[in-house]
Amino acid sequence: MTSASESTPTKEAKPNVFHWYSPRFWHGMCSSTWWSLLARNRFRIHPARWGLAFGASTFAAVNSFARHWENAWYRRELREAQVTQPPIFIVGHWRSGTTFLHELLVLDPRHGFPRTIDCMLPNQFLHCGDFISKYLGFFLPSQRPMDNMAAGFQRPQEDEFALMNMGVPSPYLTMAFPNHPPVACDYLDFEGVSAADLEAWKAALQEFLCRVQIRDSRRIVLKSPTHTGRLAVLAEMFPGAKFIYMARDPRSVFPSTVRLWKSLYESQALQLARHEGLEEYVFTCFERMDAAYQRDRDKVPSGSLCEVRYEDLAQDPLGQLQRVYDELELGEYDAARPHFEEHVAGLKEYRTNVFQLDDARLAEIEQRLGPFMQRYGYEPMPTAGSAVDDEAAVESGP
């Protein structure tokens, strides 16, 4: 079956090359995590990526030393640290507008967030994160490879990357060896995950958030699509936590997600990706995450979950933000509104990318994801081969 193809973007794309020296996610792993990843995949690294593997191996040794040093230096702080306020979790499938909402909410001066440097170096960012951000930030591309959005060590990032680099099983490990079967899919909804492994996952998340709170005591706003099927566990871990679920038309989400993974495989993988089964993987993840979300949503206490359609947020960001603040009782909205207004004003020049869906793919999306579309009010298209928008201008990450 033919996959969706991307048409010419409505805005001119800027060159964004991931140079050989640009840091990858794997550069933040410690030795035990890194070598375990390679061993599980039988060291099947493509010769073109040997340089990347050598660099990650070198940094893994440095990271291991830095972790022990930080644990000793911050021994008292780490022992006493705790998550001081229930976090705010932004969830929803990749490319559903979660990054857009995340970057808006962290503009509120009352909110903190994990930075890219925190998630890349989760074991040692307390003592070296600011230094690396200030003096080595030029190594990081100024734009993300998947959508040309701004990148930087100080920008908000997904905590899933931190968990991955801490050695916790994560679906994101698939990016390292994309020609092998997808890994850790059970961690999308914890179905099939043993009690011991689940406790280890909880401990890692708690540890990472405590480290973030040592650096920034404000209420943490987290964004990870992978948390979409974990609501019951997160609500049990953090009583009083708030959840914002982002929904978006699957006819936009599907081709944009395929494009996302292709871009990440190109820049991050230790193999030259063949993309075999990629479209089916996107479908399967969507269906599994949606089923888990529907399973868990009623387990979240009343008044702690708010659902937002991306299309509504893009059309009226200030109005939707006020609704979120009111429904979840996040505090005085007017105190944050000026920060939101300034950011939204800067988005007026952005234009969407457009994808063309062929007849077969459009029909498959509407057939397999029809219940989701009906639930959130996305009407079937009267004609096939229709164009759909990808809001790459404001949605900048997985």
- What digits encode the pLDDT tens for the residues 239-282? 999 999 999 999 999 999 999 999 999 999 999 999 999 999 99
Return the pLDDT at 6: 37
Contacts of 68 (CB under 8 A, 6+ apart): none
Return the pLDDT at 352: 59
Enter the tokens of residue 247.
């929904």
Enter the tokens of residue 99.
């990054």
Return the pLDDT at 143: 55
pLDDT in tens, 35-45: 999 999 999 99
Cβ neighbour number for residue 188 with a 10 Å cutoff: 22
CA distance 270 to 264: 11
The pTM score is: 0.90
Start-to-end C-alpha separation, the chain? 25
Pick the CATH number of 16-390 from 2.70.150.10, 3.30.9.10, 3.40.50.300, 3.90.79.10: 3.40.50.300
CA distance 234 to 283: 25
Amino acid at the residue 249: D
Domain ranges within the chain, ordered by starting residue: 16-390
Q: What sign does the CA torsion over 245, 391, 103, 254 have?
A: positive
Return the pLDDT at 131: 82
- Cβ 340 vs Cβ 107: under 8 Å: yes
Enter the tokens of residue 168.
């916790």
Location of structure tokens 């059970």:
186
- Cβ 25 vs Cβ 122: under 8 Å: no
Return the pLDDT at 8: 29
State phi, psi for 153 to the nearest 5 degrees. Answer: -65, -25
Q: What is the DSSP letter of 20?
A: T
Q: In which residue ranges of the chain is pLDDT below 70?
A: 1-21, 135, 137-151, 349-354, 382-398
- Cβ 22 vs Cβ 268: under 8 Å: no
